[in-house]
Amino acid sequence: MRKQKSLHPQCPDLLRLGPNRFEAALRAEAVAVREEQKSVRDSYLDLARQEDEQEDGRGVTRRRFFVGAAATTTALATSQFLTTQASFAATPTGTLIHVFLYGGADALSLFAPMDDPVLNRVRPSFTLPAGNSIPLERGFGLNESFAPLQKYLDAGQLAFIPAVSDRRLDRSHFAAQDICQLGGLPAETGGMGWLTNLADKLGPGTAFRAIGIGSTLPRSLVGGGGALALNSVASLNVNGDGKYRQPTVDAIKTLFTGINHPIEAPVRAGIDALTLATNLAQKGYTPANNVKYTGVGNAFRELAQLIKGGANVRIATVGMGGWDTHENQGTRGGYVARRFGELASGLDGFFEDLGPDLASNVTIMVSSEFGRRVAENGGGTDHGHGGGVIILSGKKLAGKILGTWNGLDTLANGDLPEMNNMFSVFGSVAQGRFGLTDAEVGQLFPRQTYTPVKIYA
């Protein structure tokens, strides 16, 4: 039985340590553990001092060897984490952000072949008008709602990939979203998200190395246990009365550090993440270049704060809903055009806020679970295949229209056929950003034959 301390949980003054008996007991226990361990730690330190005195100083002492071995073992056992202090140097491979448009975005309302006879016949209300559209290449035009990104298009940093799909996809939102974010059928992937697999390939990083902006992690980041989900930087905090937050953090740190156990590294990484988030939140954040974030742009604001604050984000996700446009679609200045405009403004503000140096290390990939049918249904478009992928990158791209395009002469049951495999596109974007081998990319997508697509110049 532990010897009773001055702050034992049974003390009458226990409640002065916290807002309730549970939290007060936690802090009292932390003090007791610290006092109990002090003599043991002191004896270890004394032995280490004697050992150093006895050795002649050449090479590595036994104490230093054991410290190094313990650190290596911990890093291997908890490969998701390193402390933020150890990893503030710029990540040479940069950051990949996956923006997912939930609902099945109609890519043909954003970029499409101009004056195409098939489109003129089957979707006359949703074609892109020649006078207002932005010219691309290979006969394609771009919806004027993307005008905020014109400078990146001119600089070779914005590109579009048409007719992107996968044979596994069906017309169910939920099933298709799972497949897109897992990188295959759940039975094929073991429930591991493809971005989780990518994070494993990239190796350890800070606690912010893989994050999802939102209240829950997307399926693409599940399965590894190393990703964070947060609505905002300020939301990463200890709940409860403010005056008890730091004592609670101190109690957790005392109980779960210095215990020679694999749990110590994740706890310490979590404390580091909390510390960085708290510091950033306390400083406040003013975007550069007079950027004003609205709508989905608020998610990019949080990413900009983390990236500029030194969090070393390698992989991030942003979700944007509202793309299931069965009616009132409005390609020409209507609903879907406004949604694309909101997305474009958010992307533009983010790159402006980062500035050219930081933006040069960022690639953003935008995709959806599937596209829409080629023909309109009167007021909108129904679920289809052959969606589109948007890429905005600080790294110069290989063109404005990437991948294969075989035209609209042959449709698949009224849909765009798969001309560019979704997972080959995803893998090629990640490969060029992070310098992975073909074999490493192939491991991100089980049972998928990886065929590289030229993305970067």
Domain-wise residue ranges, the chain: 14-77, 85-442
Model confidence at 161: pLDDT above 90: yes
Question: 64-78, 180-194, 211-225, 314-328 — which is least confidently predicted?
Answer: 64-78
pTM, 2 dp = 0.76
CA distances from 142 to 63, 129, 280, 314, 452 (A): 64, 10, 38, 30, 25
Question: 46-55, 134-143, 398-407 — which is least confidently predicted?
Answer: 46-55
Determine the pLDDT at residue 209. Answer: 87
Q: Give the model confidence (pLDDT) of 73-112 as tens digits.
A: 333 233 333 333 333 334 458 999 999 999 999 999 999 9
Determine the pLDDT at residue 420. Answer: 98
Q: What is the mean pLDDT of the chain?
A: 81
Q: Give the model confidence (pLDDT) of 228-279 as tens digits.
A: 888 876 655 544 555 545 665 565 555 555 656 555 555 566 666 666 667 6
Model confidence at 380: pLDDT above 60: yes
Model confidence at 281: pLDDT above 80: no
Q: Place 367 in a pLDDT band, splitting at 50, 70 and 90.
A: very high
Average pLDDT over residues 426-446: 96
> Phi-psi category of 105—alpha, beta or left, where left has phi over 0 and alpha has psi -120 to 50?
beta
Model confidence at 19: pLDDT above 80: no
Determine the pLDDT at residue 447. Answer: 87
Model confidence at 148: pLDDT above 70: yes
CA distances from 98 to 70, 276, 300, 320, 338 (A): 36, 23, 11, 11, 21
Looking at CATH, the fold of the domain delimited by 85-442 is given as Alkaline Phosphatase, subunit A (3.40.720)
Q: Give the model confidence (pLDDT) of 26-71 as tens digits.
A: 666 666 656 655 655 565 555 545 544 444 443 333 333 333 333 3
Average pLDDT over residues 292-306: 95
